[in-house]
């Protein structure tokens, strides 16, 4: 049960982080990841690849392969989730404004977030959902460094951002891991 909760959380987080990191899609970086729900960890991003590490699991999202891998380091096992083609369509990506046609950006003011100068915007998608986004304008770091609900009920932010090349192996399943699959409601069973 705990695994399923973590599995669902990491799948949702991977999509949400794609929205947060969309403005940095051309950047290669790593950062400490903090969120209001306490699921803190580390994020690595290289174009269409995202790796999120938490205490219990690692999520690797490969948009180029339309896959999400969820790794359990203690067990040296992983699960694979196929991203459906409809979900991969740009207009269905989570709240980001990199290609949506009905996105409004309202500048609020400039402030400092975790040491980064950032412009705060109110982002409204399809005149229905809104959130705040802080976009850094510091040299070399042009990306959203924080995203938050208008009512303050949730937030996600990057700290200690490091721009630069990443080891490609970060975005692959280690060779010594065993692939798992779900079998009904009974749990996870190794796949041969």
- The model's pLDDT over 102-147, given as tens digits with 9 standing for 90+, comes to 888 999 999 998 888 999 999 998 888 899 999 988 877 778 899 9
Which CATH number applies to 2-190? Answer: 2.50.20.10
Range 140-167 average pLDDT: 89
Residue 153: per-residue pLDDT = 93
Query: What span, in angstroms and rounded, lies between the C-alpha atoms of 129 and 131?
Result: 7
Query: What span, in angstroms and rounded, lies between the C-alpha atoms of 145 and 133?
Result: 8
- The model's pLDDT over 3-44, given as tens digits with 9 standing for 90+, comes to 444 444 444 444 444 444 444 455 789 999 998 988 899 999
**Could you tell me which residues come within 8 angstroms of residue 49 by beta carbon, excluding any fewer than 6 positions away?**
60, 61, 62, 63, 64, 171
Query: What span, in angstroms and rounded, lies between the C-alpha atoms of 109 and 142?
Result: 16
Residue 1: per-residue pLDDT = 39
Ranges of each domain in the chain: 2-190
Residue 181: per-residue pLDDT = 72
- The model's pLDDT over 59-93, given as tens digits with 9 standing for 90+, comes to 999 999 999 999 999 999 999 988 775 344 443 34
**Could you tell me which residues come within 8 angstroms of residue 110 by beta carbon, excluding any fewer than 6 positions away?**
117, 118, 119, 120
CB atoms within 10 A of CB 118: 23
Range 165-172 average pLDDT: 94
- 3-state class of 7 per DSSP? helix
Backbone angles phi, psi at 45, to 5 degrees: -140, 135
**Could you tell me which residues come within 8 angstroms of residue 75 by beta carbon, excluding any fewer than 6 positions away?**
none
Q: What is the pTM of this model?
A: 0.71
The answer to whether 19 and 12 have CB atoms below 8 angstroms apart is no
């Amino acid at each position: 049960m705990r695994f399923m909760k973590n599995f669902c959380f990491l799948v949702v987080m991977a999509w949400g982080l794609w929205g947060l990191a969309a403005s940095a899609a051309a950047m290669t970086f790593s950062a400490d990841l903090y969120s209001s729900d306490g699921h803190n960890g580390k994020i690595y991003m290289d174009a269409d690849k995202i790796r999120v590490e938490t205490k219990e699991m690692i999520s690797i999202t490969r948009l180029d392969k339309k896959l999400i891998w969820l790794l359990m380091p203690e067990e040296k096992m992983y699960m694979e989730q196929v991203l459906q083609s409809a979900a991969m369509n740009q207009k269905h990506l989570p709240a980001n404004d990199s290609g949506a046609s009905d996105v409004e950006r309202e500048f609020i003011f400039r402030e400092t977030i975790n040491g980064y100068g950032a412009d705060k915007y109110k982002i409204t998608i399809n005149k229905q959902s809104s959130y705040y986004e802080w976009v850094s304008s510091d040299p070399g770091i042009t990306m959203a460094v924080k995203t938050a609900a208008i009512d303050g009920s949730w937030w996600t932010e990057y700290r200690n951002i490091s721009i630069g090349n990443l080891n490609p192996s970060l975005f692959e399943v280690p060779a010594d891991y065993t692939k798992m699959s779900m079998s009904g409601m009974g749990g996870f069973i190794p796949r041969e």
